[in-house]
A and B are shown apart, each in its own frame.
Chain A
Amino acid sequence: MVGLFLFPHGHDWLMTSRSLFLTIHIVGVACFVYIVSRRLVPLVRAERDLRFDQPLIRASRVLKFWLGQWRHPRYKFAGTLHILIFTGFILLAARAFSSLIVGINPNFVMLSGEAGHLYDIVTDYAATVVFLCMVIAAVRRLVFRPARYSVPARYGKAHTADAIFLLGLIAILMVADSLLAASHSFQRQSVETLAVLSLPWIFQIALGSASLATISVFGIVAYLVHEITFYFLLCYRPFGIQFHVETSLFSIYFAKLERGTVKPMRWGISDGQLDQVKSFGVKKFEDFTWKHILDFYSCADCGRCADNCPANAAGRPLAPRFLTIKARDYVFKHYPVFSKANNNKPLIGEIYSEDEIWSCTTCGACEEECPLLVEYIDKIVDLRRGMIDEGNVPQSLQKPLKALESRGNPYGKMERKRADWTKSPEFLQTCNVRVLDGKAKAETLYFVDSITSYDDRMQSIGRATARILKHIGEGFGILGAAEKDSGHEVRRFGEEMLFQALRDHNTNSVKASGARRIVTADPHAYNALKHDYKDVPPVEHISQVIAREVKAGKIKFTPIKEDKVFTYHDPCYLGRHNQIYDDPRSVLDAIPGLKRVEMQRSRDRSFCCGGGGLMLFYEPTEEQRMGVLRVRMAAETGANVIVTACPFCMVNIEDAIKVAGMEGKVWVVDLTELVDQQIAQQSCAEIRETAVCGG
């Protein structure tokens, strides 16, 4: 923006109104600083959160997720629109600031010569594109009304009016900016050529016949409108969803780096010091960490989390979006900008219901989708920790928790029966599983976990896993009675002390076994051993082992005979939380004659089957089972066999097939069971000579 007011008629006016512009600047900036400082108050009062490590990785994530808008194209239309608006804003930022300065110092020139001209042309188009995007976005909101923007009655009123108001303000800003550019183009001795078909170009044509005096008035008015709208927007944004323009950069920089983990009970407090902590978890608003409150500010209300949330889809009283929106409404109300903070009510009962917080399966679909990397699982776990600490736990969960404490499994079964799944006569003929009790040693430990150990149906997964390990010549054993539940869901349901007791017990058992590596067929146990446990040997999921052995040629398959179509269901704790998508698929694709299709929601968009561990005991209020929705998705692809790699998925999908009335039409099988069934006979014959394997 070069010498905006340098033509004769405007100049005097400008000199007299310079103090006006200066006043607008000072008042605008002062208001913004004040409002933001008030918004920072709850962050200062919040819990600690150690997010200042790994600056390079964090900066690279800012480049990817903020500047690169990495997740936006996951929703093609809205994503493209956002990328255009974001790019426009970035390009226009310098122009906006230079206009601000020009108001005070008319001789200010940001870029001169060719570069300046090029920048002007680019920004002329940018303003035009942003303006058009505003129109399209408004039409979408008003006419097409995508379902994910709607607000169910229980969560309050629709947010459409606010959205349209903001779109309007930005549109006004773009129009004023373009008008300014157009009026400026007449100042030169020869009228400057503007970007063809851009808004400024159109305004230039429209102003073509006007006198210089009129044009100068247009310029001044446009400038005033631009400045006032700019500052109004700046100061209005911290009152709603547009605040993400300012906060998203910080939210993304400070976003959680590790997948599959749960935040510590308190940052900076070791497990041993927990007994001195007076209150656990989040009970009142200030129990959230400052980063989690920053998340509440950053949410752009795009609805992608709720759109992907299986709990929301099943009609449970939970939508991640409103977890945030309700918290934001709460903090705006209790930390008002113009009066004193007033607050200390517990959140449960005030803005959140108990069922809402127990409804989450921690599947991670919301976090995978959020373009701003807003965290949900840690908040849910923290809220649950608060409820556990208050004794506020559904009766349906108290029994399994108590059983986990006294027996080490949620079913209350005897410890010494944990290895009974290895003792059926038919299985003993094919495989003899050793218990690593200190006398018997093995390189590899198969961590079975509770459901596979005790559930009649899931024991089949245990036996298949054992036979596969035997087949590939792995020296392995199990912990037997010395194994307790991995505690994966115990931790995610907020019972941290019980989790730590289970973890410590298992860690000692694993160490005593002398094993150097761990294999498990349960993604929940896998995630726990990998992320929640410290000081245990490296752990692999059985699908990784099978994929490796298939690749090495150690496992060969007989062809599938039946004319069936297979589809693979990604378990949340194997896929999203641990990024193991390809290994199970490569195993399936290695089976001759196996026809495999993908569900629309697969890989990182996989749809949770209903949750594992303690979630099996929870009785949610819901309209539909998640598993039923999932089975229908599989059926829609034309598949009739759902392959999964998790015992909990097996429970949920098997039940769902019955509930959906699809018995005899759709089947579910665990990857290990399928592999065990299809392993080529000749390999087994080779093994038979050397190992205890009857084939």
Chain B
Amino acid sequence: MNILVCVRRVPDSSENEIKLNSEGNEIERDELVYSVNEPDNYAVEEALQIRDRVGGTVTVVTVGGDEDEEVLRRQLAMGANQAVLLSDDAFSGSDGRGNATILKGFVQKGNYDLILTGVQAEDGASQVGGMLAAMLDYPFASLVNSIAVEDGKVRVSRDIEGGNREINEIDLPCVLSIQTGINEPRYVGMRGIRQVASVPIPTLGVTDIGVARATVGASAAKVKRTDYFVPELGKGAEMLNGTRKENAEKVLELVAARGGIK
């Protein structure tokens, strides 16, 4: 089975202090550190596990620039068979639909049975997976938390509100968006990355993947970000000053009142 995983490089929310730039419509990026979007990492791990069970290949792809190569290398170090960078000046400023269009072009140049994305990018809108499936006319399942491969199809389970799950059978090829917690991604250290340092990562542009310039990039984007907020720190804390027992009772009451205990 040939699996494609679409990944993305994002500022690591646990290792950055997000601040607005002076114009207030973007974040200050000078001191940010980046890593692979967390749900995408789970998607790659799942792809590797499926490959190790049933055979085949895992390809990781991202849309971006030279700096995005680092996340592709990390995924190669994890064990992906190959990585491809989709990069072209024409791509910059694409909205979700633009990105899906680029990915669609790439998918159609290859032969993939299963396409995985993370459930959403930490700085994204959780839209590319669904759009990509629709553009390819492939079936799609979101929030997937387990995958079992069967002949010509997959059985996936999905998170439903309230902790319930449903099981779906989906024909291949299909697109699935992967929920974190589906597996335990393996660790990639510096050594792993060093070992794949010389593995070539092909870069493909508009002509390579056969996408019309007019359908991608800033000019084609129909969604534009106009503002960006960092929430003000509020006074959310309520101090309990009773005895241990009183405090415990009060906490129970508060949690129950907010629906935490049924």
Binding site for B on A (CB under 8 A): 274-275, 280, 388-393, 395, 397-399, 401-403, 405-407, 412-414, 416, 495-498, 501
Contact = CB atoms under 8 A, between A and B. Distances in A.
B192 interface: yes
Contacts of B78: 391
A649 to B, nearest CB: 26
A406 B15 contact: yes
A388 B186 CA distance: 9
Contacts of B192: 391
Contact of A495 (B14, B35, B189, B195): B189
B67 to A, nearest CB: 14
21 contacts: A388-B189, A390-B186, A391-B78, A393-B187, A395-B184, A399-B14, A401-B187, A401-B189, A402-B12, A402-B35, A403-B15, A405-B189, A406-B33, A406-B35, A407-B15, A412-B15, A412-B33, A414-B16, A414-B31, A416-B31, A498-B189
Contact of A497 (B14, B33, B184, B189): B189
Interface string B181-195: 000111111111011
Contacts of A416: 31
Contact of A391 (B14, B16, B17, B187): B187
Contacts of B188: 391
Pairs of residues from A and B, 4 with the lowest C-beta to C-beta distance, nearest first: A391-B186, A412-B15, A393-B187, A406-B33
Nearest to A399: B14
Nearest to B31: A414
A388 B190 contact: no
Contacts of B190: 405, 497-498, 501
A416 B16 CA distance: 12
Contacts of B17: 414
Interface residues of B, number: 20
Nearest to A415: B31
A398 B187 contact: yes
A497 B191 contact: yes
Contacts of A412: 12, 14-16, 33
Contacts of A406: 12, 15, 33, 35
Nearest to A395: B184
Interface of B: 12, 14-17, 31, 33, 35, 78, 184-192, 194-195
Contact of B191 (A389, A402, A414): A389
B35 A275 contact: no
A275 B194 contact: yes
Given A389-B189, A395-B184, 13 more contacts: A275-B194, A280-B191, A389-B191, A390-B186, A392-B186, A401-B189, A403-B14, A412-B12, A414-B16, A414-B31, A416-B31, A496-B191, A497-B190
Nearest to B38: A399
B105 to A, nearest CB: 32
A280 B189 CA distance: 12
A20 to B, nearest CB: 63
A402 B184 CA distance: 15
A392 B187 contact: yes
A413 B14 CA distance: 8
Nearest to A417: B17
Contacts of B189: 388-389, 401, 405, 495, 497-498
**Residue among A392, A399, A401, A406 with the highest chain B CB neighbour number at 10 A:** A406
**Residue among B14, B15, B35, B189 with the highest chain A CB neighbour number at 10 A:** B189
B258 to A, nearest CB: 25
A387 to B, nearest CB: 9
A389 B188 CA distance: 8
Contacts of A401: 187, 189
A641 B245 CA distance: 27
Nearest to B79: A391
Nearest to A661: B244
Nearest to B77: A391
Contacts of B185: 395, 398
Contacts of B194: 275, 497
Nearest to B78: A391
A513 B180 CA distance: 44
A388 B35 CA distance: 19
Nearest to B41: A398
B187 A388 contact: yes
A357 to B, nearest CB: 14
A392 B184 CA distance: 9
**Residue among B33, B35, B194 with the highest chain A CB neighbour number at 10 A:** B33
Contacts of B33: 406-407, 412
A617 to B, nearest CB: 12
A406 B189 CA distance: 11
A495 B193 CA distance: 13
A31 B33 CA distance: 65
Contacts of A402: 12, 15, 35
A540 to B, nearest CB: 31
Contacts of A501: 190
Nearest to A277: B191
Nearest to A494: B189
**Residue among B31, B78, B186, B190 with the highest chain A CB neighbour number at 10 A:** B190
B184 to A, nearest CB: 6
A388 B187 CA distance: 7
A457 to B, nearest CB: 19
A403 B195 CA distance: 21
A274 B33 CA distance: 27
**Residue among A401, A402, A414, A496 with the highest chain B CB neighbour number at 10 A:** A402
A405 B189 CA distance: 9
A135 B142 CA distance: 72
A522 to B, nearest CB: 22
A401 B35 CA distance: 13
A282 to B, nearest CB: 16
A280 B191 CA distance: 10
Contacts of B31: 414, 416
Contacts of A413: 15
A230 to B, nearest CB: 53
Contacts of A407: 15, 33
A304 B64 CA distance: 59
A407 to B, nearest CB: 5
B144 to A, nearest CB: 19
B46 to A, nearest CB: 14
Nearest to A405: B190
